[in-house]
């Protein structure tokens, strides 16, 4: 899952970006609002973590412009201003959640998971497709009750497909969820990861379906 993190404090930005990457998120860290606004016009993210006090363009205006374009990407506001009036104003402006600095990183990660589930319309933390189960809290997969061994890229592909189960996910959308701005996006790599995942799911009653010209979909296997 791909996150845009907008924060101008260098030490906080480096630390949280590193922490989220260790948690297997794809993170693009931007340190000013104008750049974030431009990136959000061209790139697709699963979540935005947005500070309010930003240079060049403040976070409130970044959020206003995002929602004015009809973009429904979940936004978690991260700021030192914890006044009730400020919290209400940002939620009314289209923010999905609000965390005040200083914060506990475990709580922040839990809020991230909640927003990702909500945007995927998932009420249950366990996502099931036949005998394949994704625990969205641990972000680990199990197959027939046993842990499924996956490389980080394989897990990332399968996670996106599971979070959007029974929905077609375009190859380009999958690629954007796997690669940061600093990496070259490769459609061929997606095909390789999907092929490997199919091999690992051969014995299960879940499969990845290719819809030619449209993309991929995780669905129960037809018997």
What range defines the domain where residue 202 resides?
126-220
- Same-domain check for residues 84 and 156: no
pLDDT value, residue 86? 66
Q: What is the pLDDT of residues 134-156, one digit of tens each?
A: 999 999 999 999 999 999 889 99
* 36/111 same-domain check: yes
- Going by pLDDT thresholds of 50, 70 and 90, the confidence category of residue 83 is low
What count of other Cβ atoms lies within 10 Å of the Cβ of residue 57? 17
Our count of domains for the chain comes to 2
- pLDDT, position 155: 93
Q: For 159-188, what is the mean pLDDT?
A: 84
115 and 146 housed in the same domain: no
Report the pLDDT value the prediction gives residue 167, as an integer from 0 to 100. Answer: 86
What is the mean predicted confidence (pLDDT) over 69-90?
81
Beta bridge partners, 90, equal none
Res. 221 pLDDT band, cuts 50 70 90: confident
What tens digit of pLDDT does each residue of 31-79 get?
999 999 999 999 989 999 999 989 999 999 999 999 999 999 999 998 8
Query: How confident is the model over 177-200, as pLDDT tens digits?
Result: 888 887 776 668 889 999 999 999
Nearest to 114 by CA among 161, 179, 163, 64: 163
pTM of the model: 0.86
CB 158 within 8 A of CB 141: yes
Q: Are residues 138 and 195 in the same domain?
A: yes
Query: 85 pLDDT band (50/70/90 cuts)?
Result: low
DSSP string, 122-178: --SSEEEETTEEEETTTTEEEETTEEPP--HHHHHHHHHHHHTTTS-B-HHHHHHHH
Token output for 7: 């924060």
Mean pLDDT of the chain: 90
* pLDDT at residue 166 in the model: 79
Which CATH number belongs to the domain containing residue 84 in this structure? 3.40.50.2300
């Amino acid at each position: 899952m791909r996150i845009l993190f907008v924060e101008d404090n260098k030490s906080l930005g480096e630390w949280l970006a590193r922490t989220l990457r260790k948690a297997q998120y794809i993170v693009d860290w931007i340190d000013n609002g104008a750049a974030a606004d431009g990136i959000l016009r061209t790139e697709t993210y699963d979540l935005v973590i947005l500070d309010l006090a930003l240079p060049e363009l403040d976070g409130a205006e970044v959020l206003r412009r995002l929602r004015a374009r009809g973009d429904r990407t979940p936004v978690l506001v991260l700021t030192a201003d914890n006044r009730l009036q400020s919290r209400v104003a940002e939620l009314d402006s289209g923010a999905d959640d609000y965390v005040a600095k200083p914060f506990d990183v475990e709580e922040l990660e839990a809020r991230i998971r909640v927003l990702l589930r909500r945007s995927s319309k998932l009420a249950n933390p366990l996502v099931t497709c036949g005998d394949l189960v994704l625990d969205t809290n641990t972000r680990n997969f199990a197959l027939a009750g046993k842990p499924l061994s996956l490389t980080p890229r394989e897990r990332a592909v399968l996670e996106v497909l599971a979070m959007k189960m029974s929905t077609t996910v375009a190859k380009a959308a999958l690629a954007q969820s796997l690669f940061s701005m600093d990496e070259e996006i490769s459609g061929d790599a997606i095909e390789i990861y999907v092929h490997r995942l199919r091999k690992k799911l051969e014995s299960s009653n879940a499969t990845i379906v290719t819809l030619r010209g449209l993309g991929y979909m995780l669905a129960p296997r037809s018997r």
